[in-house]
């Protein structure tokens, strides 16, 4: 999960998105995280605290 968060931060820094674009990016990365957790359920216990701590 941390790698996904780091990728989002790096991408945002590179493209300087508007507020709306940033919200779309958060939603897209949230979907990616959900799919990763479904694919790798053992990561859920390790990464759930990180996911819950993400700004909504």
Rounded to two decimals, the pTM is 0.47
Domain ranges of the chain: 2-53
Give SS3 for 34. Answer: helix
Residue 48 has pLDDT above 80, yes or no: no
User: pLDDT tens-digit profile of 9-30?
Assistant: 787 788 887 888 888 888 888 8
N-to-C CA span, the chain: 16
What is the pLDDT at residue 30? 86
For 43, the token pair is: 């990561």
How many angstroms separate the Cα of 21 from the Cα of each of 10, 15, 25, 26?
Answer: 14, 10, 6, 9
């Amino acid at each position: 999960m941390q790698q996904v968060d780091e990728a989002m931060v790096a991408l945002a820094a590179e493209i300087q998105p508007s507020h709306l674009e940033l919200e779309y990016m958060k939603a897209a990365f949230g979907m990616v995280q959900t799919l990763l957790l479904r694919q790798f359920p053992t990561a859920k216990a390790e990464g759930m605290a990180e996911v819950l701590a993400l700004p909504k």
